[in-house]
Amino acid sequence: MLTVDFTRFPLAPGDRVLDLGCGAGRHAFECYRRGAQVVALDQNGEEIREVAKWFAAMKEAGEAPAGATATAMEGDALNLPFPDESFDVVIISEVMEHIPDDKGVLAEMVRVLKPGGRIAITVPRYGPEKVCWALSDEYHEVEGGHIRIYKADELLGKIRQAGLKPYGTHHAHALHSPYWWLKCAFGVDNDKALPVRAYHKLLVWDIMKKPALTRVAEQLLNPVVGKSFVAYATKPHLPKADLAKADTVDAAK
């Protein structure tokens, strides 16, 4: 289940991609299939080991084209172990809402992104996320949980202040919002509640079968209750002095 829409965020074979806070690796795997040179980075060592295993399995099964590469590694989003301007593409999906210093993470992503490079950022959408917080303290008051809810304009403002130029937005995963509302209502860790189990079966069926009916329904519902907000931006070809000047102007607005 991808949150980034690769029709709006195209990759070229050979693009060097950083999937920052990759989690289970869903976007990293898709980039690998598309012929990219992928680095999947996360602070969770257990997840990184699983991602590495899947990369190896994909290579053995011939799922990635010739020239594609994939590396899984542990790392700190606030101190990325890469030189400046190392990547053509950076993806950070459902991560920034967990990190206190989100401006620091944005600065690191901009540092390692090449001029002209592209970045995709996804976060939980304000409305559906507010419902989850209202229904359950357990949903967000956990170690490593969500510490903020972004409004779209707030996130886009931070993206601009970091020196990036947004070029598109959309919402995703409308069918998943009711599932999380049910989870919050019946208990985040309570997977035995009948409504939760029934809706989970629907989601699994939808992901596996991709029926036209639910695809159309989700497209219609995404603008209303899409669970995720997705923003795309580019790093301008500007001298550092001009970038600093642009940051100052944006901060003054």
Residues near 170 by Cβ (< 8 Å), separated by ≥ 6? 5, 8, 222, 226, 230
Instruction: Say which residue the tokens 């012929």 belong to.
Output: 35
Band of residue 245 on the pLDDT scale cut at 50, 70, 90: low
Q: What interhelical angle do 152-161 and 240-252 show, nearest 10?
A: 140
Give the pLDDT score at 239.
Answer: 61
6: tokens are 């690769």
Give the pLDDT score at 209.
Answer: 94
For residue 20, give the 3-state DSSP assignment: strand
* pTM for this model (two decimals): 0.91
Q: Is the pLDDT of residue 82 over 60?
A: yes
Kindly tell me the sign of the dihedral angle through the C-alpha atoms of 154, 245, 100, 25: positive
Interior CA angle at 127 toward 208 and 195, to 5°? Answer: 45
Name which of 78, 91, 233 is nearest 158 in CA terms.
233
Band of residue 253 on the pLDDT scale cut at 50, 70, 90: very low
**Domains by residue range for the chain, with CATH:** 75-233 (3.40.50.150)
Average pLDDT over residues 52-73: 97
Residue bearing the bigger pLDDT, 206 or 249: 206
Dmax (CA) for the chain in angstroms is 58
Please give the Cα distance from 72 to 48 (Å, whole number).
6
Band of residue 145 on the pLDDT scale cut at 50, 70, 90: confident
208: tokens are 């596996």
Give the pLDDT score at 249.
Answer: 46
Average pLDDT over residues 117-137: 97
List the beta bridge partners of residue 39.
18, 71
Q: Is the pLDDT of residue 193 over 80?
A: yes
Average pLDDT over residues 139-166: 93
CA dihedral 124→232→171→94, nearest 10 degrees, is: -20
Average pLDDT over residues 219-233: 97
Residues near 225 by Cβ (< 8 Å), separated by ≥ 6? 127, 128, 174, 177, 178
Band of residue 244 on the pLDDT scale cut at 50, 70, 90: low
- For strands 228-234 and 165-172, give the pairing: antiparallel
- For strands 113-124 and 228-234, give the pairing: antiparallel
Q: Are 38 and 86 in contact, with CB atoms under 8 Å apart?
A: no
